Chains A and B, each alone.
Chain A
Amino acid sequence: MIQCKDLTEEASDYLDGDLPLRKRIALFVHLVICRCCRNYLQQIRSTIKTVKVLQPKEKETIDTQALAHKLHALSCKHD
């Protein structure tokens, strides 16, 4: 019997379609009867979409423009 805790742990795999059919059906049945889990899943979906739009970046520690110039100079030298 699927519980809310299981759905929380399997939410990503459920959304990505990466579960065996039996498990998928069991989670689907739980979602039909559990409004909290439906809302939770919707929140995870929104989180994924939001991160995709925002595209947060790594903290950069070097000057990338200087790196581009260095690579350009190297390529000219290489020729």
Chain B
Amino acid sequence: MTKLVIYRQASNYFVTNFMKINSANMDEKILITDLINGDEKAFELIVSNYHNLMLSVARAIVGEAFADEVVQDAWISAIKALPKFEGRSSLKTWLLHIVSNGAKSRVRRENRMISLDDGWQAVSSDKFDNTGHRIDDVLTWEEATPEALLANEQLQAAIEKTFQALPPLQRAALTMYDMEGLKMEEVCNILDISASNARVLLHRARTGLHQCIDKFQDK
């Protein structure tokens, strides 16, 4: 009986997700057709959906100074290549690879390197005693759900400010993995970094934002 319930739940799960994926594919196909047909609204939609994400990747690879130019070039290449897009990856991943390739060749041309340690502040070691145990108690947050936390507009603004102050590589790793749901393998390919480096960047970004929220809990 229990097995039957589990099978039903599993089957419902797969049907729901299959429908979601198919619906996303359909939406994407319609968007691509509209773009090829020159629908102006479709251009506004694709830019508003993906420009920020592409900018994040470009800033992570090539730095602030050349990022805008690299993203604009990537958009132009993508629009020209759109009729040949075969849909083997999602439109988002395809665009990210185009901007990533453009940024990498710009890095080679400019001979620039961005350090993984750029702007990193570790969790202060005075939080631990010499045996590695915490000195102070860590309490649960009074408001722990996103809705409750984000009801505080000052905190919302502080999170946004902290996010924008993170080093570009950390922002890109966090944006792609935590916010956009890309697989770690994709994140590594796009940023051209190892999985262990990507994990370090992600943890540092999360730690920075955690510290920002935690300060508000003390107030």
Question: Which residues in A have some Cβ–Cβ distance to B below 8 Å?
Answer: 3-6, 8-9, 11-13, 16, 18, 35-37, 39-40, 42-44, 46-62, 64-65, 67-69, 71-72, 74-76, 78-79
Contact = CB atoms under 8 A, between A and B. Distances in A.
Contacts of A68: 40, 43-44, 46-48
Contacts of A8: 123, 127
Interface of B: 35, 38, 40, 43-44, 46-48, 51-52, 55-56, 59, 68, 72, 75-76, 79-80, 82, 123, 127-128, 131-134, 137-141, 144-147, 149-150, 156, 159-160, 163-164, 171, 174, 178-179, 184, 199, 202-203, 206-207, 209-210, 213-214
Most-contacted residue by chain A among B43, B59, B149 (CB, 10 A): B43
21 contacts: A3-B131, A9-B203, A11-B203, A12-B206, A35-B138, A37-B138, A46-B141, A47-B210, A50-B146, A50-B149, A50-B213, A52-B178, A53-B146, A56-B160, A58-B59, A67-B47, A68-B46, A69-B40, A71-B43, A72-B38, A75-B35
Contacts of A65: 44, 47
Given A59-B164, A74-B79, A4 B140 contact: no
Contact of B150 (A44, A54, A74): A54
A3 to B, nearest CB: 3
Given A53-B146, A54-B160, A55-B179, A61 B76 contact: no
Contacts of A62: 68, 72
Contacts of A50: 146, 149-150, 159, 213
A5 B59 CA distance: 32
A61 B68 contact: yes
B38 A75 contact: yes
Given A64-B47, A69-B43, A12 B203 contact: yes
Nearest to A65: B44
A8 B133 CA distance: 10
Nearest to A76: B38
Nearest to A61: B68
Contacts of B184: 16, 18
Given A43-B214, A46-B141, A75-B43, A58 B178 contact: no
